[in-house]
Structure 1
Amino acid sequence: MTFQQELNSWWSPSAPPPTAELPQVGSKAPDTPKLQLEPGRKTIITFLRHCGCPFAEKTFLNLREVAKNQKSLDFIAVSHSDEASTNAWLRSLPQAGSEPENLRIVVDDKIEIYAAWGLGTASFAHTLSPWSMYSVWKLGRTEGIWNRPTESGSRWQTAGTYAVDGDGIVRWSAPAQRADDIPDLEAAVRSVENETKREAKL
């Protein structure tokens, strides 16, 4: 990692694709060639902030643990850092290589999938709010999760998490409201489990 790489992460994504409307609960999930969902499988999709961000690390570690306990669901983490940087970041995490088979990582360094799912460039307040800065310190002090080197990706790219049922319908939508917004993955899981229970009663 070089100083220039770290500096580049503070620039907004160059020439980003047009950002679509955010998927609404009850709507069909966006269909993109780079992110294919398994037909008939319920899926939790998390779009990460840049690799090196402590909130991206916390989100991924949570996703990995939930995936281990929910074998009947698919889990996808989408990274907008490039493949080499994403892989280097994954190797640096605690218990690296312990990802279960139902969790896969998709690299989207052109942010085409992010844009299709309504996730564009963040505002100054979203990225650098006092609450987010405090959360960085708190996460480091309480859980030992600090900033790691940022080799690629933008700190201004927004994150978000979605739950999609087996028919490809969005059942839970949580675009990040601030940089420190950690998704409630258990709520995402419940949203597709509850949909299955409702269908069973019909």
Structure 2
Amino acid sequence: MMTNKGVSLLELSEGRKVLLVFLRHFGCTFCRETLTELLNIREEIENEDTEIVLVHQMNDEYADQILKIYHMDDLQRISDPGLHLYDYFHLKKGSWSQLFGFKVWWRAIVAGIFKGHLVGKEQGDGWQMPGVFVIHDGEVISKFIHKYASDRPDYLNLAKTQIRKAVS
């Protein structure tokens, strides 16, 4: 798949790392929290020679409006309303407890009320789970698969994943 700037993931990952962040729907409290966290550590991630690429479920025009709010509209992103890339990376639909269990509700209160990431209108598949992959030269070299929608990956630690050198 191509990004909004017409570049393939393979091209982006040639010679550098890509932090491929699969988002939930844009109305999700945790999606909004993710965008804020990425903005806050973006420079540090990029200093690890890692480019952030977002995968979302909406069309690019809608995504651009949302990402402008978070000052992330200049990032490369992939529009995947059919969830084909989510499927390719084996990201599943969440169960009731993964999306609405006690742990998730507690984190939603913290992220939504105390951190200001209030829930919005569901835009996309609300059952789709997120995930994060580090790709280098077309290969996944690290990943974080969410067990709960409320999980918080260590994006900077993922960006620091060492590139495995080929042995000749």
TM class by smaller structure: 0.7 to 0.9
Match of 1:187 in 2: 157
Instruction: List per-residue Cα deviations over 1:32-71 (Å, max 9, x = no partner).
Output: x346221222110100010111100111222233333325
Aligned AA for 1:56? Answer: C
Alpha-carbon distance in 2 for matches of 1:68, 1:105: 17
Structure 1-normalised TM-score? 0.69
1:120 equivalenced with 2:88 (yes/no): no
1:34 touches 1:113 (CA, 8 Å); kept in 2?
no
Alpha-carbon distance in 2 for matches of 1:45, 1:113: 11
Match of 2:34 in 1: 59
Alpha-carbon distance in 2 for matches of 1:43, 1:170: 9
Q: Which of these residues, 158, 168, 172, is aligned with residue 129 of structure 2?
A: 158
Structure 2-normalised TM-score? 0.82
Q: CA RMSD in A?
A: 2.3
Alpha-carbon distance in 1 for matches of 2:26, 2:118: 12
Q: Which of these residues, 48, 52, 58, is aligned with residue 75 of structure 1?
A: 52
Select the structure that is richer in strand.
2
Task: Tell me the matched-pair count.
Answer: 158
Instruction: List per-residue Cα deviations over 1:108-162 (Å, max 9, x = no partner).
Output: 1011111111112111111111110111111123311111223x20110111001
Query: Residues 25-36 of structure 1: matches in 2 within 5 Å?
Result: 33-34=1-2, 36=8
Instruction: Report the CA distance shift for 1:61/1:143 in structure 2 as closer, same or farther (over 3 A).
Output: same
* 5+ residue gaps, structure 2: none
Alpha-carbon distance in 2 for matches of 1:128, 1:187: 27
Alpha-carbon distance in 2 for matches of 1:195, 1:41: 9
